[in-house]
Amino acid sequence: MNIIRRIGPDPHANGAQTSSLRGCPDILELENGDFAVIGVDITEATIENLKFGAGCGPDERIIRIPRKTLVLAKSDIPETL
């Protein structure tokens, strides 16, 4: 799977530091049009509290990214399928 671009700004732009000072929350677009998310795995802490008919399969993880990451990426997210 090839990553073709970052969605949203670089989380380290202008010298910004992320909480762990190593990795960073990120949203990436894959060459097939899908997206990959880098964030904190919160599956174990939240799986028992899923609502609204949501489910998490054995090959899936629930990932937390900061609100800022998604809001700043909004303008880069395509509006069409």
Q: pTM for this one?
A: 0.79
Integer CA distances (angstroms), 22 to 17, 25, 45, 65, 81, in order: 9, 10, 23, 15, 33
pLDDT of amino acid 19: 58
Structural domain boundaries of the chain? Answer: 3-76
The helix, strand and coil proportions of the chain, stated in percent and rounded to the nearest 5, come to 25, 20, 55
pLDDT in tens, 23-46: 678 999 999 999 999 999 999 999
Residue carrying structure tokens 């899908």: 34
d(Cα 11, Cα 26) in Å, to the nearest integer? 7
For residues 39 and 25, is the Cβ–Cβ distance under 8 A? Answer: yes
Query: Residue-wise pLDDT tens for the chain (81 aa)?
Result: 899 999 998 877 766 665 555 667 899 999 999 999 999 999 999 999 999 999 999 999 999 999 999 999 999 988 888
Distance CA 62, CA 45 (A): 9
Contact 35, 27 (CB under 8 A): yes
